C-alpha cells in the first residue's frame, strides 16, 4: 500500500505541545511558555512604520519579484557577510527564501534523491528531520556526546556512497551550544574530502556570545573561518533567518548562501513553491540591516543576559538532581532527575507547574512518529527563553525546584 509523504513523519512538535494546554486552568498560576523560540513581540516601531510606508508608497512590494530575492537585499547580505566572515561572497551567491526552513528544504531538494542519506547530529532540529522523512531521505543520526558538540571523526564512520550532506546548526537548536571554529572546520574538511555538502544553519548567529556587542562578527573574530577559503562554495551551504534578528517571524524571510550553480537549481525549487519570497518581508529585512544595528545589539545583550540568568539559577536546580547540558542562543537543554520519560513529564509540567516546554524525545524521533528509546531523549527538556525575562526565569526555576512528578 502506498504511503503519502506526510505520513512518513511525525506531527509538528510545537503544535502538539500547544494541544496540551487545552482544558488547563491558568487563572491562579499564569502559564510560563518556554516551548517555542520565535519572538512573540512585533518588530520595533520604526520598522513597522517603514512597513506601513512601503505598503502605501511602494507599488512593487505588492507584485511578484525575482525568484531568488530582492537584488538589494542579496547584495547587502553578500557585503555584510563578506565583512563579518572575512571572505568573498558575491550577490550571486545569495538567495532569499520564505524563511530558513524553506532554505533547508530547497538545499536538500538540490542534493538528494529517494533513498539518499543525510547525517544529522542528535538531538536535532525537528523540522530538518521532518523534511528529510517527507523527501524520502534517510536520516543518519550522529551522537553529539555529552558536550552536545558533534565530532567529525564520528561522522566519517557514518558516510556511505549514499551520503549527500552533513547538517550542523550553530548556535544549536535544541542544545544552545556554540560549535568551536575548529569543529566546524573539521566538518568542512571531511565533507570536501568525501565529496559531500556541509549545510550550516546559522539562524541564531546574531545571538552568538562570541559576537561583539556591536554586532560585528569580525570585531571578535568570526565563529568559523569557512568563508575565508576562496573555494568555500564547492562544499558549504549556509542558511540564515531574519525572523529572530528583526522579529519578522510572520513575514517569512530567510537566506541561503551557496555556489551559483547550486542556486540555479534552488531557483527551480523556489519557483514552483512560492514563486518569490515575501516582498514586504524582504524590504523589512533590508531596512533592518541598514538601520537597526544598535537596536539589534541591544536585543543581543538582552538574550545574553537571559542566558546568564539561566546559568545563575542552575545551582538551585542542580541541588535537586537536574543538570544543564547546553545553554546559548535562545535555548537551555536540561537533564531531569525523574524516572518518568520526558514526553510524559512535559505534559505533567503543564498541569502541575504551569510550565510548557518541549521534551527531548521531540528532538530524537524515529520515522513514523515513534521515539528513539535513548536516554538523551527521555531524560531531557528544552527550555526556550527568548520570551522570558530575568523575572520570568526566576519564576520558572521556582516552579521547577518545587516540582515533583505524580
Evaluate whether 40 touches 220 at the Cβ level (below 8 Å).
no
Bin 372: left if φ > 0, else alpha if -120 < ψ < 50, else beta. Answer: beta
Grid cell, residue 228, equals: 575565508
Residue 9's SS3 state is coil
How far apart, in whole angstroms, are the C-alpha atoms of residue 359 and residue 117?
26
- Tens-place pLDDT, residues 76-101: 999 999 999 999 999 999 999 999 99
Outline where 200-252 has alpha helix (H).
Answer: 217-220, 243-246
How far apart, in whole angstroms, are the C-alpha atoms of residue 122 and residue 172?
11
Grid cell, residue 309, equals: 540568568
Report which of 406, 336, 342 is spatially closest to residue 371, judged by C-alpha positions: 342
* Distant-in-sequence, close-in-space partners of 268: CB < 8 Å, separation ≥ 6: none
* pLDDT in 10s for each residue of the chain, 406 residues: 788 999 888 889 889 999 999 989 999 899 999 998 888 899 999 999 999 999 999 999 999 999 999 999 999 999 999 999 999 999 999 999 999 999 999 999 999 999 999 999 999 999 999 999 999 999 999 988 778 999 999 999 999 999 999 999 999 999 999 999 999 999 999 999 999 999 999 999 999 998 654 444 444 568 999 999 999 999 999 999 999 999 999 999 999 999 999 999 999 999 999 999 999 999 999 999 999 999 999 999 999 999 999 999 999 999 999 999 999 999 999 999 999 999 999 999 999 999 999 999 999 865 444 444 445 588 999 999 999 999 999 999 999 999 998 7
User: Could you give the domains of the chain?
Assistant: 5-41+295-402 (3.90.1150.10), 45-291 (3.40.640.10)
DSSP assignment letter at 249: G
Average predicted confidence (pLDDT) for the chain:
92
- Tens-place pLDDT, residues 306-319: 999 999 999 999 99
- Tens-place pLDDT, residues 328-345: 999 999 999 999 999 999
Evaluate whether 252 touches 99 at the Cβ level (below 8 Å).
yes
pTM assigned to the model: 0.93
How far apart, in whole angstroms, are the C-alpha atoms of residue 69 and residue 74?
7
Q: Considering the chain, what percentage of its residues have pLDDT values greater than 70?
A: 94
- Tens-place pLDDT, residues 153-181: 999 999 999 999 999 999 999 999 999 99
Residue matched to cell numbers 488547563? 24
Amino acid at each position: 500500500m502506498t504511503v503519502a509523504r506526510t505520513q512518513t513523519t511525525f506531527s509538528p512538535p510545537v503544535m502538539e505541545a500547544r494541544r496540551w494546554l487545552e482544558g488547563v486552568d491558568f487563572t491562579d498560576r499564569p502559564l510560563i511558555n518556554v516551548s517555542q523560540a520565535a519572538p512573540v513581540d512585533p518588530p520595533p516601531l520604526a520598522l513597522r512604520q517603514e512597513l506601513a510606508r512601503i505598503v502605501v508608497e511602494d507599488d512593487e512590494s505588492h507584485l511578484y519579484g525575482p525568484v531568488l530575492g530582492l537584488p538589494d537585499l542579496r547584495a547587502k547580505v553578500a557585503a555584510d557577510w563578506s565583512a563579518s566572515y572575512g571572505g568573498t561572497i558575491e550577490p550571486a551567491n545569495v538567495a532569499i527564501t520564505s524563511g530558513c526552513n524553506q532554505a533547508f528544504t530547497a538545499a536538500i531538494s538540490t542534493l538528494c534523491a529517494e533513498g539518499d542519506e543525510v547525517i544529522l547530529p542528535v538531538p536535532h532540529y525537528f523540522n530538518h528531520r521532518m523534511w528529510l522523512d517527507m523527501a524520502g531521505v534517510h536520516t543518519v543520526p550522529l551522537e553529539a556526546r555529552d558536550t552536545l558538540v558533534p565530532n567529525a571523526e564520528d561522522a566519517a564512520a557514518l558516510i556511505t556512497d549514499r551520503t549527500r550532506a552533513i547538517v550542523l546548526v550553530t548556535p544549536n537548536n535544541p542544545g544552545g551550544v556554540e560549535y568551536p571554529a575548529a569543529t566546524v572546520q573539521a566538518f568542512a574538511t571531511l565533507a570536501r574530502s568525501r565529496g559531500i555538502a556541509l549545510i550550516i544553519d546559522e539562524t541564531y548567529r546574531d545571538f552568538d556570545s562570541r559576537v561583539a556587542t556591536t554586532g560585528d562578527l569580525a570585531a571578535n573574530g568570526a565563529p568559523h573561518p569557512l568563508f575565508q577559503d576562496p573555494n568555500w562554495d564547492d562544499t558549504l551551504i549556509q542558511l540564515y533567518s531574519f525572523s529572530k534578528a528583526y522579529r519578522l517571524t510572520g513575514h517569512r524571510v530567510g537566506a541561503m548562501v551557496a555556489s551559483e550553480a547550486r542556486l540555479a537549481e534552488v531557483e527551480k525549487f523556489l519557483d514552483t513553491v512560492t514563486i518569490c519570497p515575501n516582498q514586504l518581508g524582504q524590504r523589512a529585512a533590508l531596512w533592518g540591516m541598514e538601520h537597526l544595528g544598535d537596536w539589534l545589539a541591544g536585543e543581543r545583550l538582552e538574550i545574553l543576559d537571559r542566558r546568564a540568568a539561566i546559568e545563575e539559577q542552575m545551582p538551585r536546580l542542580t541541588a535537586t538532581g537536574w543538570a544543564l547540558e547546553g545553554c546559548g542562543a535562545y535555548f537551555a537543554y536540561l537533564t531531569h532527575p525523574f524516572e518518568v520519560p520526558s514526553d510524559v513529564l512535559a505534559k505533567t509540567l503543564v498541569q502541575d507547574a504551569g510550565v510548557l516546554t518541549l521534551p527531548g524525545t521531540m528532538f530524537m524521533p524515529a520515522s513514523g512518529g515513534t521515539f528513539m528509546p535513548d536516554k538523551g531523549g527521555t531524560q531531557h527538556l528544552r527550555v526556550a527563553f527568548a520570551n522570558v525575562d530575568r523575572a520570568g526565569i526566576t519564576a520558572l526555576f521556582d516552579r521547577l525546584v518545587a516540582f515533583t512528578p505524580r
